Amino acid sequence: MHQQHSSTMDSSALTETEKREENRLTESELRRMLPASFRNGPAWVGIPHNRVQHFLKDDLNIERLEEASTYFSILGKAKPPQALHHQQALGLEILVTEKMDTHLLWTKGKIFIKPFPRYLLDPEFWSEQLECPKGCAYASEFQMLRAAGLVRRKTRFSKRKPCSHSKLWKCAMGFVYSYIALISHESDFRIAKASKLLPDDMDFKDWQGFVERTLRKNGKIHGQIDERFTYGELNMARLNTLLMLQQPRRYLFQDDGSYGFLRDHTSLLSPVSVYTGVVLASVQVRPTIANFKRNRPLTIALVILLVSFWVLYSVLSITGKGLPTIAGEQ
């Protein structure tokens, strides 16, 4: 892991910015902690260490979840996720996802978890890439919000728009918060290693040290994270239903099928998906979708029909099915 920077941290005569410049991470250090490539928009794939901020906007992206943020309370509970040993005891299979908006979504028998990226273990990376840079107009307000523990409430002290760094920071910190809950005991740590959620060269002492530093430095971390991470596991089938109800046209007619989350093929919603498939197949699918987009009355009629079916199944499926629990557990 990346340790060599700590030796120069005591040069207190230097300003924060000078220190930052002096300690800049080298290209090879960045390369060691970042993936091989990332998707920067639909058109091309980029090299992360060349465009770290672009990479972070992709890697920490939870925009799709924000559309459902008003309904988080019916998608999950406002508490940190259960520890990994508990997830395993509930019979949930851990599936690796690299997409931040899929982290901690669960469906029957499965939970999706994003592996802990190396770059979030490095304090220098945090100060160079996630903290507000010198001259950021929002920096002091964001510091105040963090100190007051008001980040998750979207409170504003002024009319300034939150900067891009603050959005990345609160998402990154929220993700760290979720991991602190997921890996508490050595048993959790062993499960995390076996599931390839942590770097191979990390041992339990390293993890303890990281958790201690993070909690000491950030105080009441719960008030400093994005709202999404104040909830633990979210129900994927309900989330898909919500997105479908909110934006039916976009959900159904997205050309590359990327809107919505992974489909829960085992849920009660699957007959609706089948029905949707049949309807779309009967109107010759792709070439016709373009015509649908132009033919407003037909689209509206189809959407109303599908939404009615969807609502019916949602009402049947959305009530009373929480995360599985162990007998006797609260």
- Quote the CA–CA distance of 243 and 245 in Å, as a whole number: 5
Residue 169 CB, nearest approach to Zn ion (Å): 8
Q: Are 69 and 174 in contact (CB under 8 A)?
A: no
Among 14, 90, 95, 136, binds Zn ion (CB under 5 A): 136
- Pick between residue 132 and residue 183 the one whose CB is nearest to Zn ion: 132
- x-or-dash pattern for Zn ion, window 146-165, by CB under 5 A? -----------------x-x
Residue 322 CB, nearest approach to Zn ion (Å): 38
Residue 96 CB, nearest approach to Zn ion (Å): 31
- Pick between residue 136 and residue 262 the one whose CB is nearest to Zn ion: 136
Window of 2-10, 135-143, 240-248, 262-270 that interacts with Zn ion by CB under 5 A: 135-143
Q: Which helix (H) or strand (E) holds 162?
A: none
Burial of residue 308 (number of CB atoms within 10 Å: 0-12, 13-18, 19+): exposed
- Quote the CA–CA distance of 229 and 193 in Å, as a whole number: 22
Window of 114-122, 126-134, 213-221, 319-327 that interacts with Zn ion by CB under 5 A: 126-134
Q: Are 236 and 101 in contact (CB under 8 A)?
A: no
- Pick between residue 138 and residue 204 the one whose CB is nearest to Zn ion: 138
> Which tokens is 282 given?
């009967």
Asked if residue 130 binds Zn ion (CB under 5 A), the reply is: no
Asked if residue 138 binds Zn ion (CB under 5 A), the reply is: yes
Asked if residue 114 binds Zn ion (CB under 5 A), the reply is: no
For residue 155, how far is the Cα from the chain centroid? 21
Strands of the chain (E only): list them. 38-40, 44-46, 93-96, 105-107, 110-113, 234-235
Asked if residue 279 binds Zn ion (CB under 5 A), the reply is: no
Rounded to 5 degrees, φ, ψ at 150 are -110, 10
Asked if residue 307 binds Zn ion (CB under 5 A), the reply is: no
Residue 160 CB, nearest approach to Zn ion (Å): 10
Residue 217 CB, nearest approach to Zn ion (Å): 18
- Quote the CA–CA distance of 302 and 279 in Å, as a whole number: 9
Residue 142 CB, nearest approach to Zn ion (Å): 6
Asked if residue 132 binds Zn ion (CB under 5 A), the reply is: yes
Residue 54 CB, nearest approach to Zn ion (Å): 16
- Report 162-181 residues binding Zn ion (CB under 5 A): 163, 165
Crossing angle between the packed helical segments 270-282 and 296-318, to the nearest 10 degrees: 160
- Pick between residue 75 and residue 172 the one whose CB is nearest to Zn ion: 172
Helices (H) and strands (E) in the chain, counts: 16, 6
- Quote the CA–CA distance of 284 and 176 in Å, as a whole number: 46
Q: What residues does 95 pair with on adjacent strands?
A: 112
Strand, helix or coil for residue 22: helix
Q: Which helix (H) or strand (E) holds 112?
A: strand 110-113
Residue 144 CB, nearest approach to Zn ion (Å): 13
Asked if residue 280 binds Zn ion (CB under 5 A), the reply is: no
Binding residues for Zn ion, total number by CB under 5 A: 5
- Pick between residue 79 and residue 161 the one whose CB is nearest to Zn ion: 161
For residue 149, how far is the Cα from the chain centroid? 20
Contacts to Zn ion by CB under 5 A: 132, 136, 138, 163, 165
